[in-house]
Amino acid sequence: MTDHHGKAASPALPFDIAGIRLDGSGSLTRQLVEQLRLRMLQGRLPAGARMPTTRELAGALGLSRNTVVRAYEHLLDEGLIKSRVGDGSYVTPPLAQMSPAGAGPAAPSAAPLPQTPRWLGLQAFTPSRTPAGPVRAFRWGSPAMDLFPAALWSRLQSQAWRRHDTRELAYGDPAGLPALREWLADYLCSARGLACHAGQILITAGAQQGITLAAMALLGPGDEAALESPGYRSAAAALALAATKVHPVPVDAEGLRPGALEALGPRCRLLYVTPSHQFPTGVAMSLQRRMDLLAWARRQQAWILEDDYDSEYRHVGLPLAPLSSLDSAGRTLYVGSLSKLMFPGLRLGYLVAPPGWLPTLARLRAVLDRHSACMDQQVMADFIAQGHFLRHVRRMRRAARERRDALLGAWARHIEPLGLPLPAPEAGLHAYLPLPEAGLERRLTEAASAAQLEVGAMRHVGGLPEVSARAGLVLGFAALPPAATRRAVQTLAQAWRPVLG
């Protein structure tokens, strides 16, 4: 052990060893390598400097020569020093470019931020919301996570681990666990009326990855994409990764307006839509519009990406058939999510593609991140196979409806009298409150946030950042039990009264 703290440099050495401290915390060779490397990066051992001989350094530091020899060998392997036959070792020149002599260690913030189009584009989108702390009232996008059967899930997980073999620990199929794909195909056929088979289903890390993969696979250089406006901002961000331009297409009371699509021209190759429950306005697309969109895709040889993120939650009437189920020309891809039925942190979703596409999409998935966690997929497949999934979906749907009714009832009592009636959402997990202008949106969201409530502003939620979105608020109602929602509506009324005065 040696501690040369404060000790003067040995005159025999070409550099100052003061401050080289080796202790008993680990391998002496590793510690010496780290200290020498640091000095080189700091410029205290400048490029071109001659290193002391191993004998000199070992003597000065009180180390065995072997330790120093091993450290030098390692520095040689890293390319930090090079040796000249018969002339000792020298610090290599590239370090001079990395850190000028005497400049000291570069502070992490010193690196200039990249100015690439992608880097700048990503900054235009608000970061995905991951608010800290427990779920607060009106958080949108959150299902009733308090109802998730965690004990059952944990039992299935331990059973899966008890019977596992090395296959679950190895790399899996990039298309996803075959059993889970089979179960999802059954579910989509029977519950969603989507005629598909497991060979068309790619398991993804949520709907978000399905959107990203589809955009990357379908768009080439110069291609453009389109999405509803207002629309789902995270989808806009995913499309922008692959498209030269992303066009907003206006939405009215029947959904996306196909007339505006026609004006975009042949470069627009991909359209993202949420026909069952338009995000965020909640409109269900009319049958005529659906047919118009399919006709547009056929004419333009373009693709439609249907996001059916929360269609299980239909509060009035029967679930609507997906747009993809009307497509006889194979121009649609369908993304779904388990985030709203199970829990968002599970990160499981799926992309249903036309027959024959799966091997290529699976290759793309493998390039990006290989596949979703095998064990999570296995437990999800067991959850479905043992009948828990359908039971859970029924329970979640019932709870969402109760929670929606609690919101509407309390709203009618406490907030409607202030002049803000809330349109009743017919589907999904959030209500949409249109507002006359952006200033009011800002004042209402600020007042809500001061009262510790999470009300979504259209300027953050609704689509392409450069498009002046409609003013409005998005209010999630499913995350908390009815009583908590009723209390939160009263708090919101108090917070808003001075604004609405």
Ligand X SMILES: Cc1ncc(COP(=O)(O)O)c(C=O)c1O
- Cβ distance to ligand X smaller for residue 59 or 344: 344
Helix (H) or strand (E) holding 432: strand 430-434
- Amino acid letter at 375? M
Does 307 bind ligand X (CB under 6 A)? Our answer is yes
From 67, 212, 229, 274, residue interacting with ligand X (rule: CB under 6 A): 274
- Cβ distance to ligand X smaller for residue 309 or 334: 309
From 208, 324, 445, 485, residue interacting with ligand X (rule: CB under 6 A): 208
- Cβ distance to ligand X smaller for residue 208 or 485: 208
Question: Residues 279 to 298: which contact ligand X by CB under 6 A?
Answer: 279
CB of 211 to ligand X, least distance (A): 8
CB of 467 to ligand X, least distance (A): 17
With contacts defined by CB under 6 A, name the span among 77-85, 203-211, 397-405, 473-481 that binds ligand X: 203-211
What sign for the dihedral angle of Cα 410, 413, 416, 422? positive
| Ranges of H-type helices in 386-437 | 388-414
With contacts defined by CB under 6 A, name the span among 32-40, 50-58, 162-170, 200-208 that binds ligand X: 200-208
From 344, 354, 481, 482, residue interacting with ligand X (rule: CB under 6 A): 344
What is the chain's length?
501
- Cβ distance to ligand X smaller for residue 56 or 308: 308
Does 313 bind ligand X (CB under 6 A)? Our answer is no
CB of 274 to ligand X, least distance (A): 5
CB of 26 to ligand X, least distance (A): 42
- Cβ distance to ligand X smaller for residue 153 or 279: 279
Closest CA to 492 of 457, 460, 447, 456: 447
User: How many residues in the shown chain lie near ligand X by CB under 6 A?
Assistant: 13
Closest CA to 296 of 335, 324, 334, 270: 270
Does 337 bind ligand X (CB under 6 A)? Our answer is yes
From 138, 153, 183, 232, residue interacting with ligand X (rule: CB under 6 A): 232
Q: What dihedral angle (degrees, nearest 10) is formed by the CA atoms of 376, 388, 390, 274?
A: -20
Does 278 bind ligand X (CB under 6 A)? Our answer is no
CB of 224 to ligand X, least distance (A): 21
DSSP 314: B
CB of 267 to ligand X, least distance (A): 25
- Cβ distance to ligand X smaller for residue 81 or 213: 213
Looking at the DSSP assignment, which residues form a beta bridge with residue 91?
Answer: 81
Helix (H) or strand (E) holding 494: helix 482-500
- The Cα 131–Cα 14 span in angstroms is 55
With contacts defined by CB under 6 A, name the span among 130-138, 160-168, 336-344, 369-377 that binds ligand X: 336-344
With contacts defined by CB under 6 A, name the span among 28-36, 104-112, 205-213, 243-251 that binds ligand X: 205-213
Question: Residues 123 to 142: which contact ligand X by CB under 6 A?
Answer: 141
Task: Measure the N-to-C terminal CA separation of the chain; round to a whole number of Å.
Answer: 75
What phi, psi does 457 have (nearest 5°)?
-95, 140
**Cβ partners under 8 Å of residue 482, min gap 6:** 402, 403, 405, 406
Write out the DSSP string of 46-85.
-TTPBPPPHHHHHHHHT--HHHHHHHHHHHHHTTSEEE-T
- The Cα 194–Cα 30 span in angstroms is 60
DSSP 322: P
Does 46 bind ligand X (CB under 6 A)? Our answer is no
Residue 178, preceding bond cis, omega within 30 degrees? no
> At how many degrees (to 10) do helices 374-385 and 178-192 cross?
40
- Cβ distance to ligand X smaller for residue 183 or 309: 309
Closest CA to 323 of 335, 341, 315: 335
Q: How is residue 38 written in tokens?
A: 């640091």
Does 89 bind ligand X (CB under 6 A)? Our answer is no
Does 207 bind ligand X (CB under 6 A)? Our answer is yes
Does 306 bind ligand X (CB under 6 A)? Our answer is no
Helix (H) or strand (E) holding 32: helix 28-42
CB of 318 to ligand X, least distance (A): 21
Does 339 bind ligand X (CB under 6 A)? Our answer is yes
CB of 204 to ligand X, least distance (A): 8
From 258, 349, 463, 465, residue interacting with ligand X (rule: CB under 6 A): 349
Does 309 bind ligand X (CB under 6 A)? Our answer is yes
Residue with tokens 């202008």: 437
User: What residues make contact with ligand X under the rule CB under 6 A?
Assistant: 141, 206-208, 232, 274, 279, 307, 309, 337, 339, 344, 349
